[in-house]
Amino acid sequence: MMETMESCVPPGFRFHPTDEELVGYYLKKKVASQKIDLDVIRDIDLYRIEPWDLQDRCRIGYEEQNEWYFFSHKDKKYPTGTRTNRATMAGFWKATGRDKAVYDKMRLIGMRKTLVFYKGRAPNGQKTDWIMHEYRLESDENGPPQART
């Protein structure tokens, strides 16, 4: 990946995508299995990796980073259910606050959920400083009621 980066992105450029770019370009192409110009966002299995191990897997070039980007499939808690299981070996990701709508100009294109990592097992667990933003595609046509404001 670093070779790809260095052969394409000139010195001085940093990956600081907006929510709109993450959803409207990267996630949309990923979901549609379309080619993404540059392999900057890694595929990982979020349920098999602890937050503190993400940086080695998702590093971009040689930069100091405090944010890492990745794609991961959602795991179902139960095979027949719709609840999402976000547990790892060491802990679990728990949603916090309200989901935020992501717009391309005036058009709804996705939602952003914020999650906090807790060490241990729900409903207990010790809150940590690890924060994750989970993006999903969504449009006015298929969005949930709370997104239609």
| Site for a second copy, rule CB under 8 A | 8-18, 21-22, 25-26, 36-38, 40
Question: The tokens 């969005």 sit on which residue?
Answer: 143
Rounded to the nearest whole angstrom, what is the least distance from the CB of residue 23 to a second copy in the complex?
11
**Rounded-to-integer distance, Cα 82 and Cα 95, Å:** 15
Among residues 27 and 117, whose Cβ is nearest to a second copy? 27
Rounded to the nearest whole angstrom, what is the least distance from the CB of residue 49 to a second copy in the complex?
22
Rounded to the nearest whole angstrom, what is the least distance from the CB of residue 65 to a second copy in the complex?
13
Among residues 15 and 68, whose Cβ is nearest to a second copy? 15
First CA to last CA across the chain, in angstroms? 41
Among residues 63 and 141, whose Cβ is nearest to a second copy? 63
86 DSSP 8-state letter: -
Among residues 8 and 122, whose Cβ is nearest to a second copy? 8
Rounded to the nearest whole angstrom, what is the least distance from the CB of residue 135 to a second copy in the complex?
13
Tell me the one-letter amino acid at 38. L
Q: State whether the Cα torsion 112-117-121-123 is positive or negative.
A: negative
Tell me the one-letter amino acid at 106. M
